[in-house]
């Protein structure tokens, strides 16, 4: 199998949506306050690329609204606008149907047509579902606010929405192949009909909870938990269901509602099967892990001072094969590890790093359950989420966390900041996510931003910037050799620069700073000589930004991230929702004992394609022009996305160029053509034309020396 060793992190801006096109009915709706989702809404999925969807709202200088949202759907290939949903009277009652802009969306196939629908909170307390049929979006159903639900309609006076920061989740609770929508424990059928109110005794937390469903006890039914109690979903014929409280949790332990995630941390609890998962709960400056009988796997740990705490992320952050927990707070992002406590797990390791609790990095407290903690800025909500992904497929997941000022990628093992890009947010529960948004078989990073709570044109005030106005936690763009750097100079593992124009492919100072890079001195003590490409903060920003790796070294990712409470086995890549009986528990899959973590779309994320040309290289004449053709093939182990650049050269000069139009699976080919307008006009001056696929080096293939082929003896008589 051909594979490629991924290189260092070098994110580049691939596309962005900051302003709607002219004539859009919502020109001021540019702020994104919730978590985006990524789904391929095409059926079949090969008919088009994935899309990005999020609720947008208008900027309010110095403030914000939550009840005037409009869903925008963006094309994954270029971030262009595909559709606006909401913001009009959808059901003929004379009232405009806005979405709750601070709530994250969910997506899944509700009507069985093989394509996902979008579910959103409505500002009037309703729950909305939208569907795409024959290329056109429309309302599928509107479930009106049910009396007795935990939430309430938004307040039009102050534009705030009770429990409006969370979002819906989609699961097939009945195990009948038809999914349900779950909102704060309230269950709606695939047609919007109310099936059940919230579980008895259910309480939410803070500004809302995401409904997390899993099979917590390995029986035939699934459960939901809010961190305080566990309820099982039981069928009530005909076609109904109800939540029934499970008596064993929390046992003798104290509990209360909080943000939840699920994974298997080991064998914990009395008479609890070793393969049962545990429940991570974050609430009120405290992080803890319960077994299903209430036994603590990780006892309540007081988070760093002025912490708060958002929805937890679970992944293997240190490479020991066991899960750890990442949690964001007001002033720090922290990774918690049971192995850093007094009783490590069998096979577990504690990669004890530094904690910035005193304002400077010092060793984290011994046996304090904290692996590392880095400074951040989230003074607004103190409750943002985070995600993770193993970008380089080395078995150690990286953390992705977006605070008020920057979206950063951290080494899961040490907390070192590997990448930083500017953003702006007053922060809610939102997070950046990772998915393949353009179908090119490479991971992309999708970052939301908003200008809420700020003065015009300034963005969120960032108090952590150093004297050069850059992120102090990020030393600069990383490299292995000079070929990884625009400047051509790599020293000490960092690209060196003399001007900001050497920090991005545009090679222009203003463009590079706007993209997010500024040439500045590195942090004191950094190895090597010269300035580096640091993370700039040029001003305000809103909307959606998509980043990919400049050297194409991020591995493949799934083309889906369908909800904030994301678990890979709960959604198929085409947006269909599996039966709960068909779930493979995340925690039972090798390397996937995680939550709010995406994974490579294949078992071996390091595999890549191998581009070749030849076998059918020829030309025909159309008057004085030569129509050159070549067979472009993939001889590697992984698919190659459409849009691979192909150049045709004579004596080193390009005579014409084109791109492939379809994805190339391993051992498949596409014949491409390119018109050369001025070839030689007689046999005596005929030339050989070199065909060079991937001539721009944009695709990181496994063998770069086997690409070229010849179209021989080209000439065309006028």
| pLDDT reported for residue 131 | 98
| pLDDT reported for residue 566 | 98
Residue 621 near residue 716, CB atoms below 8 Å: yes
With a cut of 70, say whether residue 616 has pLDDT above it.
no
With a cut of 70, say whether residue 239 has pLDDT above it.
yes
Q: Looking at residues 332-351, what average pLDDT do you find?
A: 97
**Range with the poorest average pLDDT among 309-313, 441-445, 451-455, 597-601:** 597-601
**Range with the poorest average pLDDT among 74-78, 169-173, 602-606:** 602-606
| pLDDT reported for residue 326 | 98
C-alpha gyration radius of the chain: 26
Q: Within 10 Å of residue 670's Cβ, how many Cβ atoms?
A: 18
CATH 2.130.10.10 domain extents, the chain: 24-465+555-588
Express each pLDDT in 664-697 by its tens digit.
888 889 999 999 999 999 999 999 999 999 988 8
Please report, in angstroms and rounded to a whole number, the separation of the first and last CA atoms in the chain: 48
Residue 393 near residue 6, CB atoms below 8 Å: yes
Q: Looking at residues 99-128, what average pLDDT do you find?
A: 98
With a cut of 60, say whether residue 621 has pLDDT above it.
yes
| pLDDT reported for residue 303 | 72
**H, E, C per residue of 45-68:** HHHCCCEEEEEEEECECCECCCCC
Distance of CA 663 to CAs 33, 51, 633, 639, Å? 34, 17, 10, 7
Beta bridge partners of 564: none
Q: Looking at residues 479-484, what average pLDDT do you find?
A: 91
Express each pLDDT in 384-425 by its tens digit.
999 999 998 888 999 999 999 999 999 999 999 999 999 999
| pLDDT reported for residue 705 | 77
| pLDDT reported for residue 603 | 47
With a cut of 80, say whether residue 352 has pLDDT above it.
yes
Q: Which residues, 6+ apart, have CB-to-CB distance to 278 below 8 Å?
A: 262, 263, 264, 265, 266, 268, 289, 290, 291, 292, 297
Cis status of the peptide bond prior to 711, with omega within 30 of 0: no
Express each pLDDT in 184-230 by its tens digit.
999 999 999 999 999 999 999 999 999 999 999 989 899 999 999 99
Q: Looking at residues 449-477, what average pLDDT do you find?
A: 93
With a cut of 70, say whether residue 48 has pLDDT above it.
yes
pLDDT band at 103, cuts 50/70/90? very high
Q: Whole-angstrom Cα distance, residue 473 to residue 374?
A: 9
With a cut of 90, say whether residue 637 has pLDDT above it.
no
Express each pLDDT in 541-577 by its tens digit.
999 999 999 888 888 899 999 999 999 999 999 999 9
With a cut of 60, say whether residue 166 has pLDDT above it.
yes
- 3 vs 291, higher pLDDT: 291
SS3 content of the chain, % helix, strand, coil (to 5): 5, 35, 60
| pLDDT reported for residue 6 | 53
**H, E, C per residue of 625-656:** EEEEEEEEEECCCCCECCCCEEEEEECCEEEE
Q: Whole-angstrom Cα distance, residue 438 to residue 13?
A: 14
Q: Looking at residues 330-350, what average pLDDT do you find?
A: 96
- 615 vs 642, higher pLDDT: 642
CATH assignment, 24-465+555-588: 2.130.10.10
DSSP string, 652-692: TEEEEEEE--S-B-TTEEEEEEEEESS--SSGGG-EEEEEE
**Range with the poorest average pLDDT among 37-41, 269-273, 566-570:** 269-273
Residue 711 near residue 10, CB atoms below 8 Å: no
| pLDDT reported for residue 602 | 56
Residue located via tokens 């974050």: 282
| pLDDT reported for residue 281 | 98
| pLDDT reported for residue 666 | 86
Beta bridge partners of 212: 225
Q: Whole-angstrom Cα distance, residue 659 to residue 235?
A: 54
pLDDT band at 591, cuts 50/70/90? confident
| pLDDT reported for residue 615 | 64
Please give the class, per CATH, of domain 611-714.
Answer: mainly beta
CATH 2.60.40.10 domain extents, the chain: 611-714
| pLDDT reported for residue 686 | 93
| pLDDT reported for residue 2 | 45
Q: Looking at residues 365-376, what average pLDDT do you find?
A: 95
């Amino acid at each position: 199998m051909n594979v490629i060793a991924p290189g260092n992190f070098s994110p580049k801006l691939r596309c962005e949506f900051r302003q709607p096109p002219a004539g859009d009915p919502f020109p001021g709706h540019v702020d994104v306050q919730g978590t985006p989702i990524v789904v391929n809404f095409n059926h079949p999925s090969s008919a088009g690329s994935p899309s990005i969807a999020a609720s947008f709202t208008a900027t309010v200088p110095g403030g914000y609204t939550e009840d005037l949202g409009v869903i925008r759907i963006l094309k994954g290939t270029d971030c262009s606008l595909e559709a606006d949903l909401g913001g009009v009277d959808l059901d003929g009652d004379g009232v405009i149907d806005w979405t709750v802009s601070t709530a994250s969306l969910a997506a899944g196939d509700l009507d069985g047509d093989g394509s996902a629908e979008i579910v959103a909170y409505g500002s009037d307390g309703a729950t909305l579902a939208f569907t795409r049929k024959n290329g056109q979006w429309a309302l599928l159903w509107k479930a009106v606010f049910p009396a007795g639900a935990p939430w309430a309609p938004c307040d039009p006076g102050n534009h705030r929405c009770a429990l409006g920061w969370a979002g819906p989740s989609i699961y097939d609770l009945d195990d009948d192949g038809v999914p349900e929508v779950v909102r704060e424990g309230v269950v709606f059928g695939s047609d919007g009909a109310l099936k059940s109110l919230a579980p008895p005794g259910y309480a939410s937390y803070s500004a809302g909870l995401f409904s997390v469903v899993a099979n917590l006890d390995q029986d035939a039914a699934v459960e939901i938990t809010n961190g305080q109690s566990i309820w099982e979903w039981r069928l009530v014929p005909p076609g109904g269901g109800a939540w029934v409280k499970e008596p064993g949790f929390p046992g003798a332990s104290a509990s209360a509602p909080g943000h939840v995630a699920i994974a298997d941390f080991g064998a914990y609890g009395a008479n609890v099967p070793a393969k049962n998962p545990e429940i991570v709960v974050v609430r009120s400056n405290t992080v803890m892990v319960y077994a299903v009988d209430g036994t603590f796997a990780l006892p309540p740990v007081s988070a760093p001072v002025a912490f708060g705490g958002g929805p937890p992320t679970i992944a293997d952050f240190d490479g020991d094969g066991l899960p750890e927990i990442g949690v964001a707070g007001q002033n720090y992002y922290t990774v918690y590890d049971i192995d850093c406590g007094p009783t490590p797990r069998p096979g577990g390791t504690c990669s004890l790093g530094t904690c910035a609790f005193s304002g400077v990095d010092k060793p984290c407290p011994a046996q304090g359950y904290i692996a590392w903690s880095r400074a951040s800025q989230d003074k607004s909500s103190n409750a943002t989420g985070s995600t993770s992904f193993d970008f380089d497929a080395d078995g150690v997941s990286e953390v992705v966390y977006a605070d008020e000022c920057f979206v950063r990628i951290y080494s899961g093992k040490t907390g070192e900041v590997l990448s930083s890009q500017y953003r702006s947010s007053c922060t809610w529960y939102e997070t950046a996510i990772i998915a393949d948004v353009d179908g090119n078989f490479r991971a992309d990073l999708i970052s939301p931003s908003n200008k809420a709570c700020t003065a015009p044109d300034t963005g969120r005030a960032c108090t952590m910037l150093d004297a050069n106005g850059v992120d102090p936690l990020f030393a600069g763009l990383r490299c292995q050799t000079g070929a990884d750097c625009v400047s051509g100079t790599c020293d000490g593992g960092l690209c060196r620069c003399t001007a900001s124009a050497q920090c991005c492919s545009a090679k222009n100072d203003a463009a590079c700073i706007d993209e997010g890079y500024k040439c500045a001195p590195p942090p004191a003590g950094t190895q090597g000589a010269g300035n580096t490409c640091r993370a700039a903060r040029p001003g305000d920003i809103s909307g959606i930004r998509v980043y990919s790796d400049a050297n194409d070294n991020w591995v493949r990712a799934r083309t889906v991230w369908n909800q904030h409470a994301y678990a890979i086995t709960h959604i198929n890549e085409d947006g269909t929702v599996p039966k709960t009986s068909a779930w493979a528990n995340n925690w039972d899959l090798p390397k996937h004992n995680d939550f709010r973590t995406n994974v490579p779309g294949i078992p071996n994320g390091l595999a890549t394609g191998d581009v070749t040309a030849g076998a059918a290289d020829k030309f025909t004449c159309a008057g004085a022009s030569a129509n050159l053709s070549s067979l472009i093939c993939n001889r590697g182990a992984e698919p190659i996305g459409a849009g691979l650049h192909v150049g045709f050269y004579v004596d080193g000069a390009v005579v014409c160029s084109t791109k492939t139009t379809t994805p190339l699976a391993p051992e498949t080919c596409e014949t491409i053509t390119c018109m050369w307008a001025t070839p030689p006009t007689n046999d005596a001056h005929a030339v050989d034309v070199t065909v060079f696929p991937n001539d721009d080096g944009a695709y990181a293939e496994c063998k770069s020396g086997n690409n070229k082929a010849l179209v021989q003896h080209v000439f065309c008589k006028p």
